[in-house]
Chains A and B, each alone.
Chain A
Amino acid sequence: MQRNNLRKWSLLLGAVAIVALPMPSWAQLTKYDLESRMGVESHVGNITGHAKAAKADYRRYCVVCHGELGDGNGESFPWIDPKPRDFQLGVFKCRSTPTGTLPTDQDLFDTLARGLDRSNMPQWSTFTKQQRADLVAWVKHFSPRWTNEKPGTPITIPPEPEVTPERIKAGRDVFARVQCWKCHGVLGQANGPSAATLTDDLGRPIAAYNFTEGARPKCGDTDRDIYRIFMTGLDGTPMPSFADNIKPDEAWDLVFYLRTLMSQNSKEKAMAKQLGLKPVDPNAPAGQQ
């Protein structure tokens, strides 16, 4: 009887250890810490958001996923993939600011309206602007990073040039040179040689974005959004920033080329077809595709 119990316990403990080990949880703030940051504000245009004012909305709409302490450990945690974000870490995917920096209030505000495609994070576009600004302040109050640092300086995006067949071809050369295809695949199907082993910053498996499935990018689907995505990276994921290695003009070329991979019809897709543009050759040495 006793031995049986012992076995049960060690099995249970073992199971807990296995589940617990590969998932580092860094959150360590308490309710008390959070109370002291209730005065956090956000500034979006001429609206000022107040954390305090969002308490009820957060309870009602967000807590099931993001949890009481903002650590992403809400009731839905076990059933959701990708996992709800841990706001205590202050690490965000959709930013106009360089990798390793905090997003602007406007970035978070826009994210709330947009939602995050390919995840359970809904759109909150029916909320008033004031409600969203308050929620942004509330999201910020979970991380001490907002006390210790300023948001990064948004990257500059030059005006979008006219798309031409030459630009699309040049964009393909950028895609080849910096090797986006290692993860995204030569056709953008998220099946590059490195795709299978990708993990996020918490060690959880993550898929690269598949351009061909019709899903919108999480961080927006305008040309400017796509420009911003690969020039800032999606922090917390394998998707790196290319800001140091793609010039602004080339970045626009790349945006045009990415459009040719997407399933939606576009000017770019039509031009590529007319050009008879071939996918990049993964076997050519780097820099010479």
Chain B
Amino acid sequence: MSKRYNFAAVLSAVVLICCGALILNQNVNAAGEGKITGTVKLDGPAPHMKGIDMGKDPYCAKAHANDPAHLETYVVGADGGLANVVVYISEGLSGSAAAESSATEPVFDQKNCMYTPHVLGLTVEQKFKVTTSDQTTHNIHPLPNPMTGNIPWNQSQPPGAAPVEKSWKAPEMIPVQCNIHPWMHGWFAVVKGPHATSDTKGTYTISNVPAGNYTVTAWQEAAGTQTQKVTVAAGGAGSANFTFKPK
């Protein structure tokens, strides 16, 4: 009889230790979190990007007098690297990791009558700032689908205006425009969890990725999305390269 009790005690101790180890293990992961890196390329020659005539607003035209502006639907670097592609984890994140949002407050600036960056990656509920560096009035007008829970708004920013601080409620690729300068077109790419945006070399690094098996999605505003499976070891690096065909 007592033997049986002993056995039960040992068993529950073992279970407890295992649980503890599992929980600890999670913490260890959080400390030595891994990453996902890679390169995004465009297959074939870069599509021609039309020049922008800013003649409607002399301030804008002057800002680009020596550096003509072009549409930014595809921004391709010297080696075919594709910029402004948002890469994020679409499957495999635990609830808490998906809910986690970076502490920094990203900035979306209106500069020389263009948006910098052209695509701003954000997590759900993450606060961001819209600023203006221009001496002309802009109106900042995101166009989400209201059925997602993201609500459209439209605010003016005259020269010297204070930043507008906002956040989004649901994952969505949200186009943003200025009605005063109709060529100004950008994106708020709202996703869950860790994400990164490719630079002009096409490279990206998603940091703070816990160990696990993931599906990673790369989104380009015109070419669409692609997915890949990636495994990240504790504190290690997974890799995913993408090649888009222009549409």
Contact = CB atoms under 8 A, between A and B. Distances in A.
Interface of A: 24, 26-28, 88-91, 99-101, 143, 145, 148, 177-179, 182-183, 193-194, 197-199, 201, 233, 235-245, 283, 285-287
Contact of A177 (B155, B158, B162, B180): B158
Given A183-B180, A283-B58, A28 B154 contact: no
Report, as a range, how many residues of chain B touch the other chain: 20 to 34
Given A235-B152, A245-B158, 11 more contacts: A26-B145, A27-B147, A91-B151, A143-B146, A183-B179, A194-B179, A238-B154, A240-B139, A241-B153, A242-B156, A286-B137
Contacts, number: 101
A252 B151 CA distance: 29
Given A28-B147, A89-B146, A286-B135, A178 B179 contact: no
B159 A240 contact: no
Given A197-B182, A240-B139, A285-B135, A88 B147 contact: yes
Contact of B153 (A90, A100, A148): A100
A283 B59 CA distance: 9
B161 interface: yes
A182 B180 contact: yes
Contacts of A239: 154
Nearest to A101: B151
A145 B156 contact: no
Interface of B: 56-59, 135-137, 139-141, 143, 145-147, 149, 151-162, 164, 179-182
A254 B125 CA distance: 36
A240 B139 CA distance: 6
B152 A244 contact: no
Nearest to B183: A197
A245 B156 contact: yes
B152 to A, nearest CB: 6
A240 B146 contact: no
Contacts of B145: 24, 26
Contacts of A199: 179
B152 A286 contact: no
B155 A99 contact: yes
A240 B141 CA distance: 8
